[in-house]
Chains A and B, each alone.
Chain A
Amino acid sequence: MKTIALVGNPNSGKTTVFNKLTGSSQRVGNWPGVTIDRKEGRIKGMDSATLVDLPGIYSLSPYSPEEIVSRDYLLKERPDYILNIVDGSNLERNLYLTLQLMEVGVPVVIALNMMDIAKAKGYDIDSKALGAALGCRVVETTAAKGEGMEEIKKVLSTLSKSELPKPVRFDDGVEKVLDSISAKLRPDVPEEQRRWAAVKVFEKDASSSEYTDEDFSSEIEEVEKAHDDQSEAIIIDQRYNAICGIVSNVLKQPTTGKRKTASDRIDDIVTSRIWGFPVFFGIMALVYSIAMLEGSPGWFATDWLNTYIGDEFIPMVADWLAEIGVEGMLYGLIVDGILSGVGAVLGFLPQMLVMFLLLVLLEEVGYMSRVAFVMDRIFRRFGLSGKSFIPLLVGTGCGVPGVMASRTIENDRDRRITAMTTTFMPCAAKLPIVALIAGAIFGGNPLVALGCYFGGILAVLISGVILKKFKRFAGEPTPFIMELPPYHTPSAVSVGMATLQRGWGFVKKAFTIVLLATVLIWFLSSYTWGLQEAEIIDDSILASIGNAICGIFAPIGFGKWELSVATITGLMAKEDLVGTLGTIVGIEIETAEGDLWAWLNTIVTPIGAVGLLAFNMLCAPCFAAIGAMHRELGGWKATAFAVGYQCVFAYVCSLILVQFGGLLIRTDINVAYLIMAIVSAVVLAYFIIVKDPLAIVRKVAGKEGAQ
């Protein structure tokens, strides 16, 4: 079995190459950091060859966590070959990584990708000369169109392990020291890694003690003095000098001077201090309007599907079941339990598809990295960096990859805060909740969804301020450095595929985790503790559990047992909240008039719906996302703290919204709850404003200790 590592800069089209070669459909996007985890796949049409897609990196120096992942993989696990994806439209930057890869001691094949863009820019690249200069084979590709993939396979299957590239030579002074280091490396450093090791020792890299016990500081210092620079900077500088030499030989580019490109003209507006945020807000408002607004395509299709499922499909199946003699318990399970529950979730599929399509478009066009830059200015005031925005963006699709995307943040403290707060965003699984409440209670107003989106961002910012006051999170925000890839028109096929893939994920979840939950909920709401069939649902196990806990939710506007139980089932998957309500209504339908939407109006007031929505947006995410948080935070104690924080924060925010909101419109006023809300607001404000909110706790604890 041969292992081939796929390495390249962010946005060089690595994942597209991976997908084309392996026939898989991993997520691609036009921003740095789409691939955060190692992905493996078998190359189609090649005997036993595994392709490993590594996160996009600029360099093998360990600056970001992704760079560490890739470097460790290449050096410690030693793939058989490296397939280096080089963006042909940006040779100079991409070749820097190539030069480092050539020192690793593994045969390198270069895929000179994005040749279509390079040609459109008027670039004429002599790939033969490039291969000769680097001592490795070069294949010209345009992965997006599938061009060059067969050639890559051909080259990979004929490559031999002894075909090592020839690393670039530095100037004589440096080479002399490298030679003397090479001679005194530990004997266990393998022959093909000695060049890499010598360079690392010269750079005074942290890893150098793995390669030698000798001290070379006087020799290195001499070179540093001659160049008046640090050894590491000398190496970097000379690599770039070598690249300039190579590029001037192999690349002929039209002398256009610095003209503003179309990308630049767009960026003039969308990244501007004045227009940047309004444009982003407008785009998101448009996205949610197209998907949710009454009369919009998304709303229209969802309304039709919901009506079809409720009025035609379920009665049709029910009639058929009755005809073939299914009755009693089984009939109840299928019709009231599964069909009502799963149907309630699936009814939102059209709106989901419209949302997915629009979000995929924004991602692939390349707008999202600009938003990160725009948001950096705002985030910085709250002690966070715009880098935190990328995970939030990913989290709008699904919290699990969102939490994982926090790995792209270099600074450990910011990474942890982001991993703890990313699930505040309204992920796809929460959208059915949003759509249900917006549709049933607020007449399909798109402001509800938009409020959830920007409310989620605001919750992250406030949490940033609060959490930064704890010692373990304190510190300056991560510096913001991000490459902005040029905008490009995504291919219809790739957008369509990505949209359908996410839609399919939604459907799959409805038929697995949601279905299982509805079976459980149906059972619990159809039987009493004595396992007798419940005559009315209020006698059921579920109702008694719900009644036991619903007191907790009364102050935040939804002290009904049905809503309390639904909120708890949201822990399995957020859609389950809708599925559970669907099942309960399916059973209750004889007593409650009309369908789920009408029923919801009878048990919750508009202000209570705000509380229900706010709490479910912010509280503990589903188990899958909690698992992801555990992986990123690295321990159950930290995870418990995070989940606890989320629940308390969600409760406090909902309490304040519901009680003060109720006060504003003068309904539902309960003095005890109002006092709770006032106290919560004061404590929240205290945590936000006071510099060291825990000082008072320490003082009290200290006094008690003294006594």
Chain B
Amino acid sequence: MHREDTPGTVGVPLFTVRPGTKGRIGRIGGKEELRRHLFDLGFTIGESLTVMHGSSGDLIVDIRGSRIAIDRSITSKIMISPEA
């Protein structure tokens, strides 16, 4: 629905943002299997998520009403465009 297709607007890697940041998922990289698993968990393109806790890329995010812990190997593959 809220897709941002043009390259360059996909935002910053998730591991660079601090707790409290809210943003929309722009792109998910990585292996096909992992991408599908993230999609299944609700990490779809355009969905908004909030970083709740964590540091250095090991984060706990709120997405679609639940808390998911993901480590740096994953947060470095998710691009988000932070909202003010």
Partner among B36, B37, B42 whose Cβ is within 8 Å of the Cβ of A96: B42
Contact check, B53 vs A236: say whether CB atoms are below 8 A apart. no
Residues from chain A with Cβ under 8 Å of B50 in the complex: 258
Q: How many residues of A contact B (CB 8 A)?
A: 43
- Which B residues are in CB contact (< 8 Å) with A241? 1
Cα distance, A479 to B40, chains bound together (Å): 15
**Distance between B10 CB and nearest chain A CB, rounded to angstroms:** 13
- Say whether A249 faces chain B, with CB atoms less than 8 Å apart: no
Task: Say whether chain B's binding surface is mostly helix, strand, loop, or mixed.
Answer: mixed
Contact A93 B64, beta carbon cutoff 8 Å: yes
| A233 partner residues in chain B, CB cutoff 8 A | 35-36, 39, 44-45
Nearest-CB distance from A348 to chain B (Å)?
A: 36
What is the distance, in angstroms, from A641's C-beta to the closest C-beta of chain B?
Answer: 28
Q: Is B8 an interface position by the 8 A CB rule? A: no
**B16 contacts the other chain (CB 8 A):** no
Q: Which residues of A contact B1 (CB under 8 A)?
A: 241
Q: Residue on B with the closest CB to A484?
A: B67
Question: Across the interface, do B65 and A92 meet the contact criterion of CB distance under 8 Å?
Answer: yes
Question: With a CB–CB cut-off of 8 A, which chain A residues contact B44?
Answer: 233, 236-237, 240
A267, B53: Cβ atoms under 8 Å? yes
Q: Is the CB of A479 within 8 A of B60?
A: no
Residue among A229, A267, A268, A481 making CB contact with B37, cutoff 8 Å: A481
Interface size class of B (residues with CB under 8 A): 35 or more
B37, A61: Cβ atoms closer than 8 Å: yes
Query: Contact at B68–A481, with CB atoms within 8 Å?
Result: yes
Q: Which residue of B lies closest to A232 (CB)?
A: B36
- In the assembled complex, the CB of B23 is this many whole angstroms from the nearest CB of chain A, namely 13
Bound Cα distance A263, B65 (Å): 13
When the two chains form their complex, are residues B66 and A93 in contact, meaning their CB atoms are under 8 A apart?
A: yes
Once the chains bind, are A484 and B69 in contact (CB under 8 Å)? yes
Chain A stretch 290-322: residues in CB contact (< 8 A) with chain B:
none
Query: What's the minimum C-beta distance from B32 to chain A, rounded to whole angstroms?
Result: 9
**Contact assessment for A90 and B74 in the assembled complex, using a CB-CB cutoff below 8 Å:** no
Determine whether the beta carbon of B40 is less than 8 Å from that of A59.
yes
Contact status of A273 and B56, CB under 8 A, knowing A228-B5, A481-B68, A483-B68: yes
Task: Report chain B residues within 8 Å CB of A476.
Answer: 73
**B74: shortest Cβ distance to chain A, in Å?**
5
Instruction: Please state if A93 and B41 are interface contacts (CB–CB under 8 Å).
Output: yes
Smallest CB-CB separation from A260: which chain B residue? B52
Say whether A480 contacts B69, CB under 8 Å. yes
Q: Determine whether the beta carbon of A481 is less than 8 Å from that of B74.
A: yes
Chain A residues closer than 8 Å to B53, beta-carbon distance: 264, 267-268, 271-272
A186 at the interface (CB under 8 A from B): no
Residue in A closest to B56 when the chains form the complex, CB atoms: A273
Of B3, B22, B33, which is within 8 A of A63 by CB? B33
Does A288 sit at the interface, judged by CB under 8 A?
Answer: no
Contact between B68 and A484 (Cβ–Cβ < 8 Å)?
A: yes
Residues in chain A near residue B68, CB distance under 8 A: 481-484
Give, as a whole number of angstroms, the nearest-CB distance from A690 to chain B.
25
Which B20-75 residues have C-beta < 8 A from chain A? 22, 33-42, 44-45, 47, 50, 52-56, 58, 60, 62, 64-71, 73-74
Nearest 7 interchain pairs by C-beta: A59-B40, A480-B71, A373-B69, A63-B37, A484-B67, A236-B39, A92-B64
Could you pull out 30 A-B pairs where Cβ atoms are within 8 angstroms? A59-B37, A63-B33, A63-B40, A90-B66, A91-B65, A92-B64, A96-B40, A228-B3, A232-B36, A232-B39, A233-B39, A236-B40, A241-B1, A258-B22, A258-B62, A264-B52, A267-B52, A267-B67, A271-B53, A373-B69, A380-B71, A480-B58, A480-B69, A481-B69, A481-B70, A482-B69, A483-B67, A483-B69, A484-B60, A484-B68
B residues within 8 Å of A by Cβ?
1, 3, 5, 22, 33-42, 44-45, 47, 50, 52-56, 58, 60, 62, 64-71, 73-74
Chain A residues in the interface with B (C-beta under 8 A): 58-59, 61, 63, 90-93, 96, 228-229, 232-233, 236-237, 240-241, 258, 263-264, 267-268, 271-273, 369, 372-373, 376-377, 380, 385-386, 476-477, 479-486
